Amino acid sequence: MGLAVLTMKASVIEMFLVLLVTGIHSNKEMTTKMKRPKLTVPQINCDIKARKIINPEFVVKCPAGCQDPRYHVYGTDVYASYSSVCAAAVHSGVLDNSGGKVLVRKVAGQSGYKGSYSNGVQSLSLPRWRESFIVSEGKPQKGVTYPSALTYSSAKSPAAKAGETTKAYQKPSVPGPTTQPVTLMQVPGTTPMEGNHTTLPKPSPSAGSATSSSRPQPLGHRSRELDLWSTTTYTSSPHSPGANPGFVPEEELSTHPLDPESQGDPNCKVDLSFLIDGSASIGKRRFRIQKQFLADIAQALDIGPAGPLMGVVQYGDNPATQFNLKTHMNSRDLKAAIERIPQRGGLSNVGRAISFVTKSFFSKAGGNRASAPNVAVVMVDGWPTDKVEEASRLARESGINIFFITIEGAVENEKQYVMEPNFASKAACRTNSFYSLSVPSWFSLHKTVQPLVKRVCDSDQLACSKTCLNSADVGFVIDGSSSVGTGNFRTVLQFVANLSKEFEISDTDTRIGAVQYTYEQRLEFGFDTYSTKPDILNAIRRVGYWSGGTSTGAAIRYALEQLFKKSKPNKRKLMILITDGRSYDDIRIPAMAAHNKGVITYAIGVAWAAQDELEVLATHPAKDHAFFVDEFDNLYTLAPKVIQNICTEFNSRPRH
């Protein structure tokens, strides 16, 4: 009896202990879950440069006010890591001056960075740099974990001063053959000595250990190798008053080995959109073949920020962007992204897809580069289920070079189902075979890789990159006679400025020149004098009123000799002549000479201008090239009509 009682008591005690231990474990698990830190987006200041942050990819929050010129930016689209992260985000258009979140990804250094003015920020040029970065909207990508604490290359980072959780590299206090750099993890509430230390790889013995010179060398000078862990010596502070914004510490320009990641093929700098067929009719197997074709193209192109960039739009009932031009900056990442594309299904609405690409894909926010031709490659299984001609015309007029790849096209007994006969010829940039490829079978699609790559990289053949607004030399011939008067002359100059604003101006796009005339003639500025729109508009504003007689014929001869003789062979030559009266000399022979030299003349008459002379001056048909208003104050109404006629004439040329 006593033994049974003892056994029962032991069982009760054992059960109690089990429950106690289980409760302790449960409490620990609950405590662990409760104490799990919430991931936060680190905040940085406007002056933080990308080179100070070790992390290869991260999301940060920028404050307001980073548009300030104190925060320097180097490059365009791809920025040198010596740039302010937040100012670069404003320059790129990802953020405005109110701040916000931005995603930053480090890429390899480049041999040169070109400055530009964008979104209120003037970026500077730089000859070379060992590390770059790109910025995009601060939306984390699925499956990617971003750091809630940044790793800085200096222990005295501004973020650390503000109390942010950071990591920092420190230089060993006593260098020696066995000394190795260490990473210091600074935890809030502890001193640096209390942090956890992690040993970093020892620098290569071949790396030089020379200290930096206090005398700066020219930016183009190749300075000697320096120890990556040596203390930076500045000859002046980049943020000090009067400091040269182009100044860079000497050792930052040393020739350290660049990241081996390719910058892309510079001989094939194109912005490329693939419109892939995701319709239900294509089937899963052929959709996989299509994706493999895209991966082969990505590999053959050598994707990179200095070469071709590629995005993908999939269409079915409706189009959708799978990823844009700046999402993937190398062939490896691009191929992996292509592999993950799921099929959408639906119809084959190609026309709708082309319209979508024209309106939405080739945008600055999507990575479109003004210096690179826009190319859209449309892949079609069989034939489209909607019309493509009108959508393609608008794409061409927007400067998009459309290539068409038709796989397993309609055979004779299927052509009755095709909504738009000869759709490929109507859609492609030109009607010649350069822009159209017909593939008899999906299983022979791989044979098209090299021919297509060769064509899209041949920038001289990409005819649709030239539009009515980016491919002309425009010469204004302006009447400065006494009858115009000072006030009206300023109105004429405003009209000239309004027309000039419509063109895409650069040394490789449209160029602007101007001549003023009375009895005599004066070259105000030539085609090669200014290469930016702000400079052109300022030059127009500075033109002074001359006053005198009206010798229009002599002015045309002068413009042909002094202005259009220096026009580039591949440019359309447009002369826009503005006059308020009848000429004192003969205009017929000079007008014919302009026509024979390929100059298209638009004659603008005001007030006392003679209608019969305008028709002689203007290129045939006169109704499209001669304009008249009765008062100078009405000149502004002609600007849209002139631009429209210039573009209509350009776009009506045969497509062959």
Note the pLDDT tens digit of each residue in 160-216.
344 343 443 333 333 333 333 333 333 333 333 333 333 333 333 333 333 333 333
- Could you tell me the CATH number of the domain that includes residue 275? 3.40.50.410
Q: Which of 21-35, 426-440, 498-512 has the highest mean pLDDT?
A: 498-512
Contact yes or no for 327/311 (Cβ under 8 A): yes
Tokens of 412: 């004779």
Global pTM reads 0.50
Same domain, 389 and 510: no
Q: Once rounded to an integer, what is the mean pLDDT over residues 614-640?
A: 96
Same domain, 340 and 485: no
Sequence-ordered list of residues with C-beta below 8 angstroms from that of 610, at least 6 positions apart, any chain: 581, 582
Which of these three, 429, 446, 466, is where a domain ends? 466
Same domain, 482 and 440: no
| pLDDT (tens digit per residue) in 287-334 | 999 999 999 999 999 899 999 999 999 999 999 999 999 999 999 999
Q: Once rounded to an integer, what is the mean pLDDT over residues 218-236?
A: 31
Which of these three, 113, 137, 161, is where a domain ends? 137
Same domain, 595 and 523: yes
Contact yes or no for 367/77 (Cβ under 8 A): yes
Same domain, 443 and 581: no
Which of these three, 81, 110, 137, is where a domain ends? 137
Q: How many CB atoms lie within 10 A of CB 243?
A: 15
Same domain, 452 and 476: no
3-state secondary structure of 375: strand
Same domain, 448 and 501: no
Predicted local confidence at residue 181, as pLDDT: 37
Instruction: Note the Cα 110 to chain centre separation in Å.
Output: 16
Domains held by the chain: number: 3
Same domain, 430 and 577: no
Same domain, 503 and 369: no
Mutual angle of helices 639-651 and 486-501, in 10-degree steps: 40
